[in-house]
Amino acid sequence: MAKKTYDLLFKLLLIGDSGVGKTCVLFRFSDDAFNTTFISTIGIDFKIKTVELQGKKIKLQIWDTAGQERFHTITTSYYRGAMGIMLVYDITNAKSFENISKWLRNIDEHANEDVERMLLGNKCDMEDKRVVPKAKGEQISREHGIRFFETSAKANINIEKAFLTLAEDILRKTPVKEPNSENVDISSGGGVTGWKSKCC
Amino acid sequence: MDQSFAVQETLSAGETCLAISFRKGVNVNARRLHTVQGILAAEEGMESRLLSLVESHGKSMICLYTHRRMAITAEDVGLDRVLLIQEGFAVEEVTLEDGLQIPGSDVTVQITSGGTSLLVQLPFGSHTQMFLREVRKRCGPGHKDATAVDSEWSTSGEVKAAPRPKTARETVHLSHVPASEWTQDLPTQLCGQRDGLLQSWLKQKEDSYTNLQSFRFFVGTYNVNGQSPREGLQPWLSQEEEPPDVYCVGFQELDLSKEAFFFNDTPKEEEWFKAVTKSLHPGARYAKVKLVRMVGILLLLYVRTELAMNISEVEAETVGTGIMGRMGNKGGVAIRFQLHNTTVCVLNTHLAAHPEEYERRNQEVQDICARMQFHQLEPGHPLLAINGHDVVLWLGDLNYRLEEQDTEQVKKLVQARDFQVLHQHDQLKIQMDAKLVFEGFQEGEISFQPTYKYNPGSDDWDDSEKCCVPAWCDRILWRGKTVSQLGYRSHMALKNSDHKPVSAVFDIGVKVVDEKCYRKAFEETVRSLDKMENASIPSVTLSKTEFLFKDVKYLQLQVESFTICNGPVPCQFEFINKPNEDSYCKPWMTAKPREGFLLPDSKVVIELELFVNKSTATALNSGEDKLEDILVLHLDRGKDYFLSVSGNYLPSCFGCPIQTLCYMKEPIREMLPEAIRELTLMPLLTDDAFWDEKPLDIPKELWMLVDHLYRNACQQEDLFQQPGLRPEFEQICDWLDTGTLDVLGPVGSNHSVAEALLLFLESLPEPVVCYKLYRSSLECANSYKMSSQVISVLPKCHQNVFRYLVAFLRELLKHSGKNHLDVNILASIFGGLLLCPPPGHTKPGTVEKQKAQQFIQQFLCQEESTV
């Protein structure tokens, strides 16, 4: 009977334009709930959730970033150290989809080279307002060789699946090590950011 | 008894090592030495060895010792061979071909080192696990622990050629491991807490994922009076129709010889073990889980082989209560284990003899309860006591007698099988009823005649000289909610001893885990843990995250404040530096306080101060810098918040270069930002022919200030020595930045205008005497001729300003009778403003200041015609 709370710690990051639903995606996954009022994330937030994959308990530490353009230079500095990045757009917002290539460039420039990427087309419950066809999302993800899901935080579509798939992809690349609590890196378990002031 | 002591005695001083005593419950510092007894598979069969992990002069090795059954001193052990822990060293657990893998049974390992390969069987339990863990620590890649020990020992280890003097004191001293040394090694991690919490919660929910399932336990006790088994034990062990699931079989007085007493060494162990194994119920196959013996007290635990997989956490311990309260002729042995999810502790005790010693027997039970403590496999877990188990089975020769001393009377009652009456005289019953011993324990009704004392070989009462009163010495008690006794009897058929064996059969409800329910409970618990962890992430609310500073002026402080309201988690907050920047905000901003600690639900007001001074004004004037910034408020172990700062700066002549101002024909506030930018970034020209438009000779703002002073303040007492008034300074600034030449001057006092002049000169990004001429100016400070030459190479506008100011100051000196100014005062004030060391230069010392003063002084003292 496995009693250890977790064997591995994965740090994931949510990025994408403001208003595409990053916070809602995270809230759905961590608390299985949805909030309709829009509160713009002004900063960096994170939550944890423990999942089990291939008999291993994996603690996911998921960072939610501010999407507003004026914060981009700062938010990119949080990319470092992330093992997986979820790039979210809104299927009812063409601009958010057009910006995908810009976000992908950001990842190339600022994230670890071996970071697992994933594209999410969120708000797929709002079919009547859709402006980005699913095929376009599939096409761009094919071009960049990354996974793609259409999700809805509101209707709880594909949220869990997306996170588990991303975690699985990371796990596949993780060298097999005996689960040992002493080896689990928890130094970053409590919100250590990508950079920190030196003068304290 | 810990055999490490014996090994320790053979080591020299350089190999000083600390032994381990599990019995004492001292936490082990196993880095130095760890000893286990193992069975070595040799060509001629199995041989016993002591395996010792020894660290000597920076090297780790496993030493194998031959030994007497129970090694106490160095004479009892002999070094057999040494296996160095070096490259190629390996310890692997192996499964023997015919071996049945029983949890709780022995571990077989293959040890390979330098071409030698040994097969060693080690007893199951924490002792062996610790040993293997320590060995692996030293041969794995994470070897750094051992190297740390190396250095420790190479400094303190003094090599002694002579054998180490053997004194008992030293041995005792060495076994004393400071507790602090051990605790440092323990991982004090958060995830450890999480694990502990998880386990406690799962334990709490145990009912939701376990079902009680009944298992049959056979418990037997037999005082064999030092005899060897000469008759089959089936009449005792396998009388039941149904084969039991678990056998707990205890013996007392296995061996009454001196050897057994002093060396804990007896051949009888093997004999009785075989006899029991042969006599177990033929209806099932059994596996031995554990055997534990202390002198003559032996306890055996068997389970049906198919149950072996469900047995875990097997540990054995012994407590001696004999001579000195320690020796093993009296006392108890115990085995604790877990069957499915139920913890069981089985004790076999032999308590003090003699009818009148019932109080001693009570005391011994208390002692055993207090001292019997089990180690747990998980490092860092506390010792486990008897009362920490779900089920306790207590068997043995408890030696309680009958209070009725009249032998004949007792025998008569036995004859009449009036055990109820007789039981009223039983010391154990009396003591238990009075709650003086075995509190919480139960015993079944006794429906068999006393099991002591018989003439060996018969069912006849003892007729020796002593002629003991018959008694129920041999008893079986239990504690536990789910235990029900099916039978409690003696077995008259066995006649080998002066005691008769006793047995009890129990149905014990055992908590069996329902995997599906367990998964659910586990998931739920992990979810709540996650929830708890998420709730414990520090989080605050900010009353404001956007800050607008409107119409910011030079040297005019603006403050915006906001409140940090903390949530339920105490937190440490701090404005942290942004990537690739070495400050948390632009230089014109300060957050007060920058960091702090917040108690749950408390608040703090943060003030953001915006202040533009000389060092930041130029770039803000030119537009190279803007009043825009993002501050990152970081919570330790928590979130980050972004604060946006924006605003507009009203350009000012303060902070503008002289040349720029000379080209500005209108007030700076009326100029287009691009024009200000262009003029500010224009390189400093040595002559003004370059530009289309002819510049002003000197900045009009300078003229406005000086002209005002010339007309109003020449006779002002203490001019340049009294401070101005701040509101007046603000008015003067506005006048300079918005006013035109024809507008009449400010209403401010002369002192305010004089101060504004000084501040204006101070704000120049390039001083009147340019930075690059600073050094040469000081060098020629005592030669007027050379000093004049320095001035003549200044850019035209700077030259003009210099001469203009000197002329003004000389004018002031003419009125020194009224304004009390003299050459020294003016030279010292203006020397420091007109001559400034370039940025990065160390702050000017007294000598430099004097030279700057001297430089100006020359010009103030010269004949008017020559300036």
| ipTM (interface pTM) | 0.88
Q: Using CA coordinates, name the residue in chain A closest to B630.
A: A71
**B867: Cβ contacts below 8 Å, ≥ 6 apart:** B803, B806, B807, B810, B859
**pLDDT exceeds cutoff 50 at A30:** yes
- Between B157-161, B354-358, B717-721, the lowest mean confidence (pLDDT) is in B157-161
Predicted pLDDT at B741: 55
**pLDDT exceeds cutoff 50 at B605:** yes
**pLDDT exceeds cutoff 80 at B600:** yes
Higher pLDDT pick, B120 / A88:
A88
**pLDDT exceeds cutoff 60 at B563:** yes
How many other C-beta atoms lie within 10 A of the C-beta of residue B569? 18
Do the Cβ atoms of B578 and A71 come within 8 Å? no
Q: Give mean pLDDT, residues A4-18.
A: 89
Predicted pLDDT at B163: 33
Predicted pLDDT at B68: 63
Predicted pLDDT at B689: 55
Nearest neighbour of B199 by CB, restricted to A3, A49, A71: A3
Predicted pLDDT at B186: 29
In 3D space, the residue among B540, B550, B568, B557 whose CA is nearest the CA of residue B643 turns out to be B540
Predicted pLDDT at B350: 96
**pLDDT exceeds cutoff 70 at B795:** yes
DSSP H helices in B163-216: 168-174, 179-185, 190-204, 206-209
Q: Using CA coordinates, name the residue in chain B closest to A58.
A: B526
Residue B383 distance to chain A (closest CA, Å): 19
Higher pLDDT pick, B251 / B30:
B251
B162 — pLDDT class (breaks 50, 70, 90): very low
**pLDDT exceeds cutoff 80 at B686:** no
Which residues in chain A are closer than 8 Å to B575, comparing Cβ atoms?
A: 197
Do the Cβ atoms of B194 and A5 come within 8 Å? yes
Q: Give mean pLDDT, residues B486-508.
A: 96
Higher pLDDT pick, B128 / B286:
B286
A 72-91 residues with CB < 8 A to B: 73-74, 77
Q: Give mean pLDDT, residues B452-462.
A: 92
Do the Cβ atoms of A30 and B637 come within 8 Å? no
Higher pLDDT pick, A192 / B219:
B219
Please name the helix (run of DSSP H) or strand (run of DSSP E) that holds residue B785, with its range, or none.
helix B784-792
Q: Give mean pLDDT, residues B190-208.
A: 80
pLDDT one-digit tens code per residue, B73-91: 666 677 777 888 887 788 8
pTM above 0.90, yes or no: no
DSSP string of B571-635?
Answer: EEEEEEPPTT-SSSS-TTEEEESSEEEE-TT-EEEEEEEE-B-HHHHHHHHHTSS-SEEEEEEEE
Residue A14 distance to chain B (closest CA, Å): 14
Q: In sequence order, what are the beta bridge partners of B573?
A: B596, B635
Do the Cβ atoms of B530 and A200 come within 8 Å? no
Predicted pLDDT at B108: 77
Which pair of tokens denotes residue B492?
A: 């008259």
Which residues in chain A are closer than 8 Å to B632, comparing Cβ atoms?
A: 43, 74
Higher pLDDT pick, B834 / B116:
B834
Predicted pLDDT at B743: 58
**pLDDT exceeds cutoff 70 at B200:** yes
Q: Using CA coordinates, name the residue in chain A closest to B545.
A: A42
Higher pLDDT pick, A164 / B116:
A164
In 3D space, the residue among B98, B6, B106, B95 whose CA is nearest the CA of residue B52 turns out to be B6
Which pair of tokens denotes residue B435?
A: 């709650």
Higher pLDDT pick, B162 / B130:
B130
Q: How much of chain B exceeds pLDDT 90, in percent?
A: 59
B624 — pLDDT class (breaks 50, 70, 90): very high
How many other C-beta atoms lie within 10 A of the C-beta of residue B720? 21
Dist. CA B599–CA B684, nearest whole Å:
56
Do the Cβ atoms of B630 and A77 come within 8 Å? no
Q: Are A112 and A80 within 8 A, CB to CB?
A: yes
Do the Cβ atoms of B195 and A196 come within 8 Å? no
B29 — pLDDT class (breaks 50, 70, 90): very low
Nearest neighbour of B191 by CB, restricted to A45, A186, A200: A186
Higher pLDDT pick, B24 / B596:
B596
Q: Any idea which residue has 């101002």 for tokens?
A: B661
Predicted pLDDT at B131: 77
Pairs from B25-30 (Cβ < 8 Å, separation ≥ 24): B25/B373, B25/B383, B26/B175, B26/B176, B26/B177, B26/B179, B27/B177, B27/B179, B27/B182, B27/B183, B28/B130, B28/B177, B28/B182, B29/B177, B29/B181, B29/B182, B30/B130, B30/B131, B30/B133, B30/B134
Q: Is A44 on the interface with B (CB under 8 A)?
A: yes
Predicted pLDDT at A147: 96
Predicted pLDDT at A4: 60
Predicted pLDDT at B118: 81
Predicted pLDDT at A175: 76
Do the Cβ atoms of A46 and B639 come within 8 Å? yes
B807 — pLDDT class (breaks 50, 70, 90): very high
Q: Are B395 and B248 within 8 A, CB to CB?
A: yes
Q: Is A47 on the interface with B (CB under 8 A)?
A: yes
**pLDDT exceeds cutoff 80 at B409:** yes
Residue A140 distance to chain B (closest CA, Å): 31
Higher pLDDT pick, B733 / B381:
B733
- Between B106-120, B590-604, B837-851, the lowest mean confidence (pLDDT) is in B106-120
Q: Is A148 on the interface with B (CB under 8 A)?
A: no
Q: Give mean pLDDT, residues B300-314.
A: 93
Highest averaged pLDDT of the listed ranges B74-78, B352-356, B525-529, B541-545: B541-545
pLDDT one-digit tens code per residue, A54-96: 888 899 999 999 999 999 999 999 998 899 999 999 999 999 9
Residue B529 distance to chain A (closest CA, Å): 9
Q: Give mean pLDDT, residues B119-128.
A: 72
DSSP H helices in B205-267: 206-209, 234-237, 258-263
Span between the terminal Cα atoms of chain A, in Å: 44
**pLDDT exceeds cutoff 60 at B30:** no
- Between B162-176, B342-356, B420-434, B513-527, the lowest mean confidence (pLDDT) is in B162-176
* Average of per-residue pLDDT values in chain B: 83
Q: Give mean pLDDT, residues B514-533.
A: 92
Which pair of tokens denotes residue B506?
A: 């129990």
Which residues in chain B are closer than 8 Å to A31, comparing Cβ atoms?
A: 531, 534
> Which of B136, B200, B530, B595 has the most A C-beta neighbours within 10 Å, making it the best mutation to test the interface with A?
B530
Q: How much of chain B exceeds pLDDT 70, in percent?
A: 82
Dist. CA B515–CA B92, nearest whole Å:
31
**pLDDT exceeds cutoff 80 at B242:** yes
Q: Is A183 on the interface with B (CB under 8 A)?
A: no
**pLDDT exceeds cutoff 70 at B697:** yes
Higher pLDDT pick, B172 / A78:
A78
Which residues in chain A are closer than 8 Å to B376, comparing Cβ atoms?
A: none
